[in-house]
Structure 1
Amino acid sequence: MNTIYKIVALVGVSVLTTSCFNKERPNYQFMPNMYESVAYETYSEVPTTVFENGKEGQLPAEGSIPRGYEPEAYPDTPEGLELAKVNQKSPLAESDKNLEKGKELYTIYCSVCHGAKGDGKGNLVKKEKFLGVPDYKDRELTEGGIYHVITYGLNSMGSHSNQLSQHERWLVTDYVLKLKSE
């Protein structure tokens, strides 16, 4: 009698587990929005049902700073450049300075216009794409001024803050000062 109960129980459990299975329609999804998210067009308005205040839910909190970003000490103004020339010094310790890396970065980003020796005779100047690129030896250069110009750009030179990290900009600054002294 015990074996009959076991057989009936086994058949009952197997019927229950297989009766919910349907090949045309998969099993229930407990969190369907995790599997099938709502698609939104790029730059389109989000329905107010998603965020109470419309788009405000997508904006970062006021005064927040992106992770890993350090704000610059001086603003992108002529006054900021003058203050940087006078006051800003390299934060790199002697052990962090790497002239080889600075030379490599200078060759990639700067020598096309400024020349390999810093004489203002890079390939683009030779082909007359840009004119008036200064020779470093003829200019009064300071660490802060060079860093500020690399960060924000000046005249025809554009900003390199998107291509170079702050540390890399200081390495290039050190290498430019080395070229000036040669």
Structure 2
Amino acid sequence: MKSLFKKSLLFVLALSAVSCFNESSPNYQYFPDMYEPIPYEPYGEYEIFLNGQSAMLPAEGSVPRGWKPYDYENSQDGYQAAKSELTNPLPYTEDNLAKGRQLYTIYCAVCHGDQGDGQGIMVQREKILGIPRFDDEGRNITEGSVYHVMYYGLNAMGSYASQTSIDERWLIDHYVMNLKNNLQGGEERAFEEEATQEEEAQMKNLIPAVNEERDQLSDGNQGSPGTDNDGQENQNEE
């Protein structure tokens, strides 16, 4: 009799607990940290914001962290200018070439091929055709043209500016030019020595002096045609 009473009591308690459940609202939470995030939700509504939305446009004039301006326009003139003027700022070292090879394998080899001969797996499977070799005399790629195409894209190739950082694109640039040299049968390019800590410190010490000299020049050029308030030529925004 007592056993039946206990079972009946447990059944009633369980039924009562289930009847309190409401699918339209949260119920009892165990470890609520996983349900109630501390930061604002991207598209949540919060009274603290003027329009009630946490997803807002960046302030005017702000730039993403790590972003640097690129002075060449996405045009044929911009391409030709970058091709003739732009050079790789990273030293040509064994380590940088190895990093460039790794990045090239990830982003480029699928179309351009491991050797830069335009015979990547996508071409072999006839998913895309007409990929030029890096030693194509008609294109005559340079460090600047390779970077420009990675930044903006060209023809069937899209931009890789969102997938890669500035340094990563220059690392790939080194490896692409190395593949071009190999296809042409040229001599191996000698590796450069990386800057020592002492040399980097010397460069940092030069920056204040360069800035001071620039400020002096800008003071003398204020108001001249074609310059901004710092005496530097205005550049088109990308």
Residue matched to 2:154? 154
Residue matched to 1:120? 118
SS of equivalent to 2:135? helix
1-side partners of 2:41 and 2:146: how far apart?
43
How does the TM-score come out when normalised to structure 2?
A: 0.53
Deviation at 1:52, TM superposition (A): 4.5
Q: Which amino acid aligns with 1:144?
A: G
Are 1:114 and 1:122, in contact at CA under 8 Å, matched by a contact in 2? yes
2-side partners of 1:101 and 1:67: how far apart?
23
2-side partners of 1:91 and 1:164: how far apart?
16
Moved more, 74-83 or 112-121: 74-83
| Structure 1 residues 41 and 173, CA gap change in structure 2 (3 angstroms) | closer
Deviation at 1:42, TM superposition (A): 6.0
1:71 to 60, 66, 69: 69
Q: How does 1:91-170 map to 2 (within 5 A)?
A: 91-94=89-92, 98-138=96-136, 139-170=139-170
Deviation at 1:164, TM superposition (A): 1.4
Deviation at 1:54, TM superposition (A): 7.4
2-side partners of 1:96 and 1:163: how far apart?
24
How does the TM-score come out when normalised to structure 1?
A: 0.68
Gaps of 5+ in 2: 1-35, 183-238
| Structure 1 residues 134 and 165, CA gap change in structure 2 (3 angstroms) | same
RMSD of aligned residue pairs (Cα, Å): 2.9
Deviation at 1:127, TM superposition (A): 0.8
Are 1:97 and 1:171, in contact at CA under 8 Å, matched by a contact in 2? no
Moved more, 87-96 or 161-170: 87-96
2-side partners of 1:73 and 1:92: how far apart?
18
2-side partners of 1:155 and 1:117: how far apart?
21
Residue matched to 1:15? none
